[in-house]
Copies of this chain bind each other. A is one copy, B any other.
């Protein structure tokens, strides 16, 4: 044990020495008396560097020091020296990594969340897993158009509140045996049944059965009942197909049900959104501002009520995109690019 510690200490001492010497060499090459990070006595400096190694609190200072040395080293014009010095720098950084000395070894990752994040999942789309993109958006940001554009480009289904409502109305009607084609809109549920021909009948009925289960929500408010129905439908769909879903707290519902997905928040600066709503809804600035605030507030309150989280905080999504930085088509392309470069395709 003592030997192990001594060995560890020897390694650190050697590493600190290499850092001191690298700094010295860069300084000599640059030939500037302003060039040095560590200017004191070699042994004492090495002691100080070792202290920084030992304390994660200090590690960011060491990192700034290393950054200064490498910023400097990168400016050496003699190619041979430049290469030698940068190689030594890279090796020092690698050794620090190996000794797990730096602060980035104290991880920030939430392994549960990361395990469901399709963008980083190592094994994508196992049996029963599909490409599901959850998009939340602030009002006026163009998020709906961007979500639709993404689904259209990927040729996967698109679901928003409107479509959910239609599907649930259909399911209710089926349950009550009140099916009347001339009165109803298409049911995505019936489409679901058609997707897997072998299971068509079963699925059809399992969805019907779901409705009968709805009775147990009858003690709840309509808002709650709708939310729970939508949640069940969402998880059901997620086991069967790829899709883009707008809002509906879908990200949190899927996380709670261990269903992999990507969550994206789309927003833009307030005044940019107000401008867009003025054009879109043919209203004046004051009215547009009120509408944006009202819709955002309603979103935030819905999200808070069902998830306990603050809506629109970047820490709640895998990725947040400022649509004003890219435009609508630009945002669609940006998201498609992100999927592509992370090797994500339809399941």
Contact = CB atoms under 8 A, between A and B. Distances in A.
Nearest to A89: B152
B334 A119 contact: yes
Contacts of A314: 265, 267, 312, 314, 320-322
A248 B102 CA distance: 23
A179 B36 contact: no
B327 A36 contact: no
A287 interface: no
Contact of A186 (B35, B152, B282, B316): B35
A299 interface: no
B328 A107 contact: yes
A103 to B, nearest CB: 6
Contact of A181 (B39, B138, B327): B39
Nearest to A156: B74
Nearest to A56: B280
Nearest to A326: B120
A315 B138 contact: yes
Contacts of A57: 280-282
Interface in A260-300: 265, 267-270, 272-273, 276, 279-282
B328 A108 contact: yes
Contacts of A155: 74, 86
Contacts of A74: 155-157
Nearest to A138: B315
A70 to B, nearest CB: 8
Choose among A183, A185, A325 the residue with the greatest number of B CB atoms under 10 Å from its CB.
A325
A187 B195 CA distance: 66
B191 A158 contact: no
A203 interface: no
Contact of A119 (B75, B170, B326): B326
A33 to B, nearest CB: 3
Nearest to A104: B145
A214 interface: no
Nearest to A283: B57
B35 A325 contact: no
Contact of A191 (B30, B110, B265): B30
A74 B314 CA distance: 33
A280 B316 contact: no
A270 B319 CA distance: 16
B276 A107 contact: yes
Given A33-B181, A70-B158, 20 more contacts: A30-B190, A33-B179, A39-B183, A57-B282, A64-B160, A74-B155, A74-B157, A103-B145, A104-B146, A108-B141, A108-B268, A108-B272, A109-B324, A109-B325, A110-B269, A117-B325, A119-B326, A267-B315, A269-B315, A317-B325
Closest 10 CB pairs between A and B?
A109-B327, A33-B181, A104-B145, A320-B320, A341-B341, A314-B320, A108-B142, A110-B324, A64-B162, A67-B158
